């Protein structure tokens, strides 16, 4: 499962909303990113207060806003390098908050530490690869690199899993978020290893 590799199909769902925002409002992409972060933080707090359905709802809204900033930037032809970096950091800020508060509420400190570490490494292996291997070509403002489709469990899958197990938590079925957090930790770690193995096989050679 790699929802990122299905970006073109998923765009049909959210892109019209982003285009509408770009044409009918003056809201900037960075403001949309900030709104996404604020809602994401409230989602994390909701999980900490053991309100999983509210947390899942806010998380869905936060994730949807996160998809819109890039659409608005491209529609207005105002995509910037800062915006790309800011969006990336904002995602990791929200992810860190979410995993921390869900972990300390529904899991153990040790598993929480592993989950957050694996999640951050899974993302930040990409800029390291950009710098060391030299991916720099861009398509519509996004760096075009082979890691985009490598790693079966990234941010979209993590958020979707949290939402699904939040519903299970509400109805007290399938282990709820306690089991869901184990699933997220295990799959994120395996997905990270997949990316490392891919880079090793493809780029394990001396510098030119």
Tell me if 121 is assigned to some domain: yes
pLDDT of 147: 76
pLDDT of 111: 98
Cα-flanking dihedrals φ and ψ of residue 135, to 5°?
-75, 125
Instruction: Please return the burial class of 25, using the count of CB atoms within 10 Å of its CB with bins 0-12, 13-18 and 19+.
Output: exposed
Tell me if 127 is assigned to some domain: yes
Instruction: Report the residue count for the chain.
Output: 208
Structure-token pair, residue 81: 């390098």
Domain span including residue 141: 3-202
Helices (H), 4-80: 7-24, 29-48, 52-75
Tell me if 66 is assigned to some domain: yes
User: Is there a contact between 99 and 119 (Cβ–Cβ < 8 Å)?
Assistant: yes
Provide the number of structural domains found in the chain: 1
pLDDT tens digit at each of 208 positions of the chain = 566 656 667 777 888 888 999 999 999 999 999 999 999 999 999 999 999 999 999 999 999 999 999 899 989 888 888 988 899 999 999 999 999 999 999 999 999 999 999 999 999 998 888 777 776 666 655 666 677 778 899 999 999 999 999 999 999 999 999 999 999 999 999 999 999 999 999 888 766 6
Tell me if 207 is assigned to some domain: no
C-alpha span between 96 and 44 (Å, rounded): 9
CATH of the domain at 84: 1.20.120.1760
pTM of this structure = 0.90
C-alpha span between 82 and 70 (Å, rounded): 12
Tell me if 180 is assigned to some domain: yes
Tell me if 92 is assigned to some domain: yes
pLDDT of 91: 96
| DSSP single-letter state for residue 107 | S
Tell me if 112 is assigned to some domain: yes
User: Is there a contact between 67 and 14 (Cβ–Cβ < 8 Å)?
Assistant: yes
Q: If you search the block for the tokens 């509400």, which residue do you land on?
A: 170
CA atoms within 13 A on the CB side of 145: 23
Tell me if 59 is assigned to some domain: yes
Q: Smallest Cα–Cα separation from 169: which of 47, 73, 83?
A: 47
Helices (H), 79-175: 81-106, 109-133, 155-171
Q: If you search the block for the tokens 């395996």, which residue do you land on?
A: 190
């Amino acid at each position: 499962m790699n929802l990122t590799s299905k970006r073109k199909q998923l765009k049909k769902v959210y892109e019209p909303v982003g285009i509408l925002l770009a044409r009918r409002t003056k809201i900037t992409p960075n403001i949309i990113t900030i709104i996404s972060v604020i809602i994401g933080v409230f989602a994390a707090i909701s999980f900490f207060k053991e309100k999983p359905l509210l947390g899942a709802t806010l998380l869905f809204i936060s994730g949807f806003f996160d998809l819109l900033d890039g659409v608005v930037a491209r529609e207005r032809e105002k995509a910037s390098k800062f915006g790309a970096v800011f969006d990336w950091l904002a995602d990791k800020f929200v992810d860190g908050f979410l995993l921390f508060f869900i972990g300390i509420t529904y899991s153990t400190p040790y598993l929480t530490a592993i989950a957050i570490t694996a999640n951050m490494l899974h993302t930040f292996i990409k800029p390291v690869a950009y710098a060391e291997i030299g991916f720099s070509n861009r398509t519509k403002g996004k760096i075009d690199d082979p890691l985009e489709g490598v790693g079966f469990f990234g941010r979209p899958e993590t958020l979707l899993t949290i939402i699904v197990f939040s519903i299970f938590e509400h109805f007290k079925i399938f282990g709820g978020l306690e089991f869901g957090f184990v699933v997220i930790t295990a799959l994120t770690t395996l997905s990270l290893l997949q990316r490392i193995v891919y880079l090793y096989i493809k780029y394990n050679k001396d510098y030119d």
